Amino acid sequence: STNHLDIGSLYLWFSFIMFLTGGAMAMVIRAELFQPGLQLVEPNFFNQMTTVHGLIMVFGAVMPPFTGLANWLIPMMIGAPDMALPRMNNWSFWILPFAFTMLLSSLFMEGGGPNFGWTFYAPLSTTYSPDSTALFVFAILIMGISSMMGAINVIVTIVNLRAPGMTWMKLPLFVWTWLITAFLLIAVMPVLAGAVTMVLTDKFFGTSFFDTAGGGDPVMFQHIFWFFGHPEV
């Protein structure tokens, strides 16, 4: 379907499933922390749980439901028949299940899934990370593409599809907040894409963006990541 209500509902159901998935990982974390010392899982698996829990909650359980609400409400609030780019809307949703399947499948690789925290600071995510880092990077890139397409769709819809008489100053506050959010997403998602791509090349292709031995700087990772991170939040 390219209907904005259907796609909004898909986003909401998807985020609910991701919420349960990330919540199950949180239960592993809390169960392990219930008493001092090792009870249930190995330290490496514990680190994988904290990392993937964070990524799933941020990119799977927090962002998609707001995109779903935007799909549902913005056309109705501005008097538009649908989102401006319905087929792109469809695509921006349907790449998400594949991205998260890729992220979750990394847990079953040799060496385990990403185990360096959801903020994936270098050098933990480069020098000391498992080979599944590649799957993690591709999953993040696909999520970023999805977010950017959703944001482009929101902007084009609000600018072009307002009903006659729906001036800028008559827009509901929800529509204004999403317009601003969409510009923020377009500004920061390429920065995140650059950060994870540099992580990928540092780990697998011998670059030294975040390695002081090659003239790089791990602190640069923090600057790039938080240039993404704060507007994202």
pLDDT digits (tens, 9 = 90+) for 47-97: 999 999 999 999 999 999 999 999 999 999 999 999 999 999 999 999 999
Say what the pLDDT of residue 233 is.
84
Please give the domain boundaries of the chain with CATH numbers for all domains. Answer: 4-230 (1.20.210.10)
Report the percent of the chain where pLDDT is more than 90. 97
Say what the pLDDT of residue 216 is.
95
Mean pLDDT throughout 169-182?
97
Mean pLDDT throughout 137-156?
97
- Alpha-carbon Rg of the chain, whole angstroms? 19
| 177-219 confidence digits (pLDDT tens) | 999 999 999 999 999 999 999 999 999 999 999 999 999 999 9
Beta strands (DSSP E) in 120-228 are none
Q: Is the C-alpha dihedral spanning 106, 112, 118, 123 positive or negative? A: negative
Kindly report the average pLDDT of the chain as a whole number: 96
pTM: 0.94
- For 27, residues 6+ apart whose C-beta sits below 8 A from its C-beta are none
| pLDDT tier, 42 (very low <50, low <70, confident <90, very high otherwise) | very high
Cα(218)–Cα(44) distance, integer angstroms: 22
